[in-house]
Amino acid sequence: MHEVDFQVYPDEVVALVGGNGAGKSTLLEHLNATLVPDDGELVVDGTPITDDDLARARSAVGFVFQDADTQLVAPTVLDDVRFGLQNYGVPAEEATERAREALATVDASHLEDRIPHYLSGGEKRLVGLAGVLVLEPSVIVLDEPLAGLDPARSRLVADHVERIHEEGISVVLSTHDLEFAAAVADRICVMSDGDVVGQGTPREVFYDPELLDAANLHPPSAVRVARDTGLDVDGRPVTEAELVQALAGSQSEPPQTRRVDGPGAD
């Protein structure tokens, strides 16, 4: 990383996008002081983090790792989710109650007695998320949250991101899935070669071909359809739902704007 200036504001979802090796995970791991900058500063909730104070960054910024196994350490799922709370000295009964609530939030209550090691990749990710949510962080970092998930579980993760956001927690995630980024993010940061090379709303970023080319990225399919088919689509849609809505809107235009050929034509 070099010369990176990156902020997360309250109540926003930020997606880091960029090719392999662009620096997404490295930047994310700085946010909760898993990595500490050689030069520069990490400020959490307005206060600079010092070497003696790393625990504060770790409790304020919850990190859900791409490889969930690194995060799951206890013999059962419930033990795992309450592990962090017990480390912070929360009494056992309260820790259990809060852990159960966090598991319910991610629809994983049914897993509470299971052995974390034997869960599927998607289940592990949900339990990792519960283990972070239970600590009530102000920011949650998700490194490649869709990696290895089937489409149904990917949708579930997208729903959870929205739900977490509605609870007033900021979310920073990295992803190679630009459709997902377009659907969940308020702000997209484009990374290339260890740097943030551009950022903006999904509409600004995904309709900026020069920025996307510079980072070797292809826009989401809705953007490609809207841009390349020559259809007169208003509003620069970035998701399929927005594209469908825009196309439906353009179909309700007056009939003279539609080309009508063939035998049935008047």
Ligand X SMILES: Nc1ncnc2c1ncn2[C@@H]1O[C@H](COP(=O)(O)OP(=O)(O)OP(=O)(O)O)[C@@H](O)[C@H]1O
Rounded least distance, CB 179 to ligand X, Å? 16
Nearer to ligand X, 22 or 169 (CB): 22
User: Quick one: 102 or 172, whose CB is closer to ligand X?
Assistant: 172
Measured from the CB atom, is 17 or 90 closer to ligand X? 17
Of 27 and 139, CB closest to ligand X: 27
Which CB, 23 or 128, lies closer to ligand X?
A: 23
In whole angstroms, the minimum distance from the beta carbon of 148 to ligand X comes to 13
- Part of the chain binding ligand X (CB under 6 A), chosen from 13-21, 43-51, 203-211, 237-245: 13-21
Token pair of 246 as six digits: 């825009």
Question: Which of these, 195, 164, 213, 243, lies nearest to 21 by C-alpha position?
Answer: 195
- Whole-angstrom Cα distance, residue 185 to residue 156? 15
1, two tokens: 């990383």
Distance CA 14, CA 48 (A): 21
According to CB under 6 A, which residues from 17 to 56 bind ligand X? 18, 20-26
Q: For ligand X, how many residues bind (rule: CB under 6 A)?
A: 8
Least distance CB 29 / ligand X (angstroms): 8
What's the Rg (C-alpha) of the chain?
22
Handedness of CA 50, 54, 56, 61 (dihedral sign): positive
Is residue 218 within 8 A of residue 224, CB to CB? The reply is yes
| CA 126 from centroid of its chain's CA atoms | 13
**Interaction mask 142-171, ligand X, x per CB under 6 A:** ------------------------------
* The one segment of 14-22, 114-122, 128-136, 179-187 that binds ligand X by CB under 6 A: 14-22
Shortest separation between residue 27's beta carbon and ligand X, angstroms: 7
Q: Residue 80 CB, nearest distance to ligand X (Å)?
A: 25
Yes or no: say if 33 and 54 are a contact pair by the CB < 8 Å rule. Answer: yes
* Amino acid of residue 100: R
Calculated CA dihedral for residues 125, 34, 102, 181, nearest 10 degrees: -60
- Shortest gap between Cβ of 143 and ligand X (angstroms)? 7
Q: Which residues bind ligand X (CB under 6 A)?
A: 18, 20-26
